[in-house]
Structure 1
Amino acid sequence: MRITFLPPPMEGSLSLGIYDKKGKLVRTMAREASEKDFTIGLNGLITFWDGKDDAGKVMPPGLYTARGYSVGTIDVDGIALHGNDWITDDDAPRPARVLDLHAAADDKVDVILRTLDGKEVTRSLSFDTQPQEKPPGDESVSITEGKVKLISGAEAHELPLAARETAVDAALGAPDRLWVIVSAPGGTEVRAYTYGGEFLRRLAYAPGDPLPRRILAARGRSANRWSEQILLLEQNDKVQRVRSLALPQQATKGDAPAWETVIEKSIWLGDSFEAIRDSLKRPSGKPFVTDKEFIVRLIDNPLLKGEPTTAHVSIGFNEGGSFLQTTEGLPLRRFTETAGLKWVVIGREGSGRQLTIFQGDGAVVEEFKAHKLANMMAFDAGEYEWTGK
């Protein structure tokens, strides 16, 4: 079926759709097209509809309409990356999960991460230490069936834990210092012992906190500021984080925490907006409010006899990224080219004259601002009787 229309008198790309008598979009004929993508005729631009919907199914006979939009410049600005401290820029690998911590030489730690496509990448962290005057001995520690076994020289002994307590992980630290993650009926905590099993101190966790899974400790001589340093991999159902904690040499006063956080890098967990909503704190302190659609007052098209026009628009996404679309589903303008998106939301903030866009691929949350959404003009490409042949 031959479709002919006059494009609106404005600079912009063209999106054209075929709609049934109920106003449902059945076929996207063009998205972000230029006049060169159509046949240029004496009475306007020409394209041809084969009577099929977007799935390739032949539509039943009946009356159909063709209409669309010319879309001018819409500004989209990248604002920030949220929820993944391991990603530093758009071109960097996107690790989605921390797999493990490995001790390296000279009090360095390799953090093993996995990207969305299953590849492993390594990031290195270091304790703030100086080399020991003499290297550590041949001590080692291991966990077997929740029990801690310490080997020092030719001697081996098991660290005594209370009934119903199990060790999750353990690490050797400064001389005569053993660090253990202990799971007990009352909760999980990190404890420091001497090699002889004397309890020294604990790091407790409140309900809801990410719990420790792996621990490493500095074995070198700490800088003047610190007496002890540990590195933890912690996780719950909302976040996974790596924290480097240190104990000051001088005791803290009052209600100041004994531990100081030297490094903290987190990854939000969740493949939906609902899963990360509580973590996404806005500058106002209020949660981000999403909107399903917006009514945009468009530039009047003189070919439509000056009738005022509006468009109901929303956000959509596919394998190529996110885009502005009508609420019926006609794509209007590509916003981003992020592949593998799992969700996209949009809402008004501030004066309401710009839109805030959040989108996630399971590794990081991207934030954008969109301006000039009203820089569009609607056009009518007529009614057509489809016979089904």
Structure 2
Amino acid sequence: MQHDESPEDRAFRAEVRDWLETNLSGAFAHARGLGGPGREHEAFEERLAWERHMAAAGWTCLGWPVEHGGRGAGLTHQVIFNEEYALARAPARVGHIGENLLGPTIMAFGTEEQRKRFLPPIVAVEELWCQGYSEPNAGSDLAGVQTRAQLADDGTEWRITGQKVWTSLARESDWCFVVCRTEPGSSRHRGLSYLLVPMRQDGVEIRPIVQPTGTSEFNEVFFDGARTDASNIVGEPGQGWKIAMATLGFERGVATLGQQVGFRRELDGVIELARRTGAIEDPLLRDRLTRAWMGLEIMRLNATRTMAGIAAGAPGPESSISKLVWGTWHRELGELAMDVLGAAGLVARGEPYDLDEWQRLFLFSRADTIYAGSNEIQRNIIAERVLGLPREPRP
């Protein structure tokens, strides 16, 4: 976006770049490049310390209104920050679920008491959040959730029973926003509610899921009579579907442009690998590399267009286009990296299971078209809610 920037924007970019360069040194010098998809196990405590250092300097929750602890930064400045953060190879964020998903949701749908209670600890990175959406028999089909919550007879608390799966960073989180069924006998989108549930209590069990990368950033979470205060419901009972969809829209917001800087770095690395191995001389691989470059350019243009919807308020179903595009592109980049490596990509670089960055990219990116809404679900959303096509027959 630099070609469209005003003098004020360029000054802000220089401020961000200078701050990152100055602070990613000394105690935090080794933190560059740590974490990220497939590598969330890396130096978590150091990354948490870094993010709290950012918070103390006012660099978390930039786009939040000033009255909620943010800077009230406009869309362009948010994009600039995310781009410069990625270009500096700053460590992967640990509070992004609270900052980018739960925080905007509470600002849009929560009570004033909820804003006062939950927003300041997100800004300060004092409380971390995870997302309780998918279940074993309701992955991308969120309307099929069976986790249930019942209000106690005295009306003071909710009691939650059920199972969630693929819960990112559950072991590190203090709280979880949980979509659950609060109306007995209801089905599909009706009777769902959006609860805020403390993770560190009896009645919550977390079981890590070992992934093909050998790491375990995804988890199963079991709720067995877990409790949360009656006031920790966002919106009214039965509004859970509407609020959950808004949260997913926020998830596909400004941070995706910073994500694409990381994609650019990965693509440049694959191109350099192809030059080094001679694979770039293969016309088919060279064509795929060219198409990957074109795909990334298209992705960026689409993401910039999508930002206009975000600037106007909660994003609509058009944000599904962004998820469908980047998930598919990134998975194909992992496949391309393995084809560039050739037979060498089949061998781990060390014992017992030491993967290089391209093997890890290939394995983890298989999940990109599944988590945060599978490609099949995204296509249905685009067809039905954007294009207005008839709904698929329901059983």
TM-score of the two chains, using structure 1 as the length reference: 0.18
Give the number of the structure with larger relative contact order, counting CA–CA contacts within 8 Å between residues 6 or more apart.
1
Larger strand proportion of the pair: 1
Indicate the structure (1 or 2) with the bigger Cα radius of gyration. 1
TM-score of the two chains, using structure 2 as the length reference: 0.18
